[in-house]
Amino acid sequence: MVSTIKRVKALDDHLINKIAAGEVIERPASIVKELLENSLDAGADGITIDIEKGGIKRITVTDNGSGIVKEDISLALSRHATSKLTREEDLYAVQTLGFRGEALPSIISVSRFSIVTRTANDRHAWELITEGADEAGSLRPAAAKTGTRVEICDLFFNTPARRKFTRTQTTEFNHIERVVRQLALSRMDVAFELIHNARRVYKLPPADDDNALEKRLNKLMGEDFTANMIALDADGGSLKLKGWVSSPTLTRSQRDRQYLFLNGRFIRDKTISHAITRAYRDVVYHDRHPLLILYLAMLPEMVDVNVHPAKAEVRFRDGRAVHDFIYRAISNAIATDKPNRQIIEQNQTCSDTEELAGFQPRKFTSPAPRSQQLQMMVKESIQSYKKLHPGQSSLDAPGRAGMDALAGPAVSSVEDENRPDTLLGYALGQLHGIYILAENSSGLIIIDMHAAHERITYEKLKQQYQQSAVQVQRLMIPVEIRLTRQELDTGLKIKSYLDELGFETDQLGEQTLAIRSVPALLAAADTAQLLKDILADVNEHGLSDQAELMINTILSSAACHGSVRANRKMSIEEMNALLRQIERTERSGQCNHGRPTWFSYELSQIDKWFKRGQ
C-alpha cells in the first residue's frame, strides 16, 4: 500500500484569522477582556460596556483613551500589529495588559465589526466598518469625542459550529460581569459602567477617596467583605504587596472571590494560592477559602507573563521567595486582626448568606466612641454584680491548676469602677459551663471558653517551639498507656516530633508506650488521654511529609485536648484573665479548627429585641 504524502502549504490569511479566533475568543467575555485591556492601555479613565443578549447580539466598548491616529487604524486591525512592543527586549519586560496583536483581527473574522476613534489632535473621528473580514470598508469621517468605540455584532454569525457552543445569554453575561469586576478591582482609578439589555448593572465612579472606595468594594465584593476586611501593606524590597484579605471567619466554599493582580494584571498562580492557603491553615475550616484582593508588584524582568495564551498564568524567577513573602504578609495581617463581630439577626438578609459564617463584624470605618451614658450603665451593672456574688474568689473554683496557662499580668477585680473599657469587656458569669458572658461599653459578649483557651494554648506552644524554648514538665512516675497496633505505629512514626515538642515517649512492650514528660502548658491535662487524642487526630489527618505541617498538627491537637473543657467552673477573676489573654493572643478570633471564639451583641440591637424606645 502506497501512502499519500500530504504537502505542507501556507494557509491564507482568512483561515489563519479563524484559527487565531478560536484561540483568542473562547466566548463573548474574551472579547470584552481584550477590548477593556486595550482601553486601559490607551490611558482611558472612563469606560462604558454596553452588552446585548449576553454579548452574542452586540458588544460595545467606549472609552476616553488616547485614540488611534488615522494612518494606524487599518494597521491596528491586521495581525501581529501592536503599539505595545518595539523591540525583542520588551517581550521579557511587558508592562501593558495586551501586546499580541491578534485580538482585533481575530474578532473581526467572526463578527460584524466597527470602530470609531479620535485622537486629541484630530478635528473629527474616523470610522471603519467590516463584516467577517470579507468586506473591509474604507475610512470615513465620524462624530465622536476623543477616545475609541468598538462595536461587535452577531458574534460567530459566519461560524455556526462555534455559535452552537455558546451558552444562554445569562451564563454568557455572568462571564462578562466577572471580567468587568476583575478589571474594575484592578484599576480603582478608572470609572466603569456596565449595561446589559438596556439595564445598568454597574456604574462605578473612580475610587479616589475612602467613601468611593467603600462603595466600589460593596458593589463588587459585597458588604460582608468591607465589614470584615483586613488591610495589608507589605514591602519586601523588590516585592511589594497591598490590598485586603478577609477576616478568617468570613470564608467561601470556592476561591471565586480571590483576586490577585500582578503589576496590574489579573493572574492565577498555584504558588501564590498555596501561600494563601498556608497562611489561613489553622484559622479556617477545611475546604473553606478566604476572600481577598491583592496587588503584587515586582520588576517586570522577575516574571515571565508569556507562558499562557491569555497571560492568566505566569512563571516567577524565584517562586520560593514570592511564596514566602506572601505567606508572611498575610499571616502577619490576620495574626493581629481583632474582629468586632456581631450576631446577624434572623430576619437580616445579605448576599451569599449560605457562604458566610453567620455574623456581621467590623465596619469599614472605625466606630465612634460610645456615649458617657452607656459607660455609666456598664459601671452600674458591675456594682450590682458585687451584691449578687459577694466574696467570690478565684480560689473558690475547683481545678484551678487547669488554668495556669492563663497566667499573665494581673487584672482588676470585678468591683473596680475605674478600669478601662476593653474589646471583650469584663465577665458577668458562665452559661451552662460552656460560654462566658461578658459586657463592654458596646453591649454583650459571648465567649466559647474552650475554643478561646485552645487558641491561646496553641499560639503559646507554637511560639515556644519556634523559639526552641518548649518548657517541659518531667513526670515523677512515667505514665504507661496501652495502645492499639495502629496507635502504636503512629506514635513510633512521629516519635521524633513528639520528643521535640516535649512529649518524651518510650516503647515498653508490644503495645505499650511510656510517657516520661509533657509540655508544661499541658501538665494539668490527663496525660494518657491527651496522647491518645493526639495520635487519633494524626491518624485522621494523615501523616505528612512536611515537618512544619506535622508539628502544627500535633500542637493543634495537643492544644485542643489540653485546654479547659466544658462544664469547668471558673471564677470571675479566671474568666477576666481568659478575656485579657484572648485580646493579647494572635488569631484569637478563631480556634485552631476555624470556629469563632466569640460574638458580640450591640446594646442597640438588644434594645430592638425588647422594643425599648419604640
Instruction: Please write the tens of the pLDDT for every residue from 266-312.
Output: 988 899 999 999 899 888 877 789 999 999 999 888 888 765 555 56
417 pLDDT band (50/70/90 cuts)? low
Domain boundaries, the chain: 13-204, 222-340, 368-614
Closest to 240 measured CA to CA, from 303, 185, 294: 294
pLDDT at 444 over 50: yes
pLDDT at position 368 is: 32
pLDDT at position 390 is: 42
State the chain's mean pLDDT as an integer. 80
Average pLDDT of span 128-133: 82
- Three cell numbers written together for 83: 503599539
Cα–Cα distance, 20 to 12 (Å, whole number): 12
pLDDT at 243 over 90: yes
Which of the given ranges, 150-159, 186-195, 370-379, has the highest pLDDT on average?
Answer: 186-195
Q: Could you report the per-residue pLDDT of 51-82, keeping only the tens digit for each?
A: 999 999 999 999 999 999 998 888 877 765 55
Cα–Cα distance, 25 to 408 (Å, whole number): 62
Q: Which CATH architecture has domain 222-340?
A: 2-Layer Sandwich (3.30)
The CATH superfamily assigned to 13-204 is Histidine kinase-like ATPase, C-terminal domain (3.30.565.10)
- Three cell numbers written together for 293: 484582593
pLDDT at position 307 is: 55
The answer for residues whose C-beta is within 8 angstroms of residue 335's C-beta and 6 or more apart is 586, 587
Helix/strand/coil for 408? coil
pLDDT at position 421 is: 81
Closest to 124 measured CA to CA, from 137, 139, 138, 142: 142
pLDDT at position 10 is: 59
Instruction: Tell me which fold the domain 368-614 belongs to.
Output: Ribosomal Protein S8; Chain: A, domain 1 (3.30.1370)
Cα–Cα distance, 490 to 308 (Å, whole number): 44
Centroid of chain to Cα 332: 14
Give the dihedral sign, CA 334/212/193/65: negative
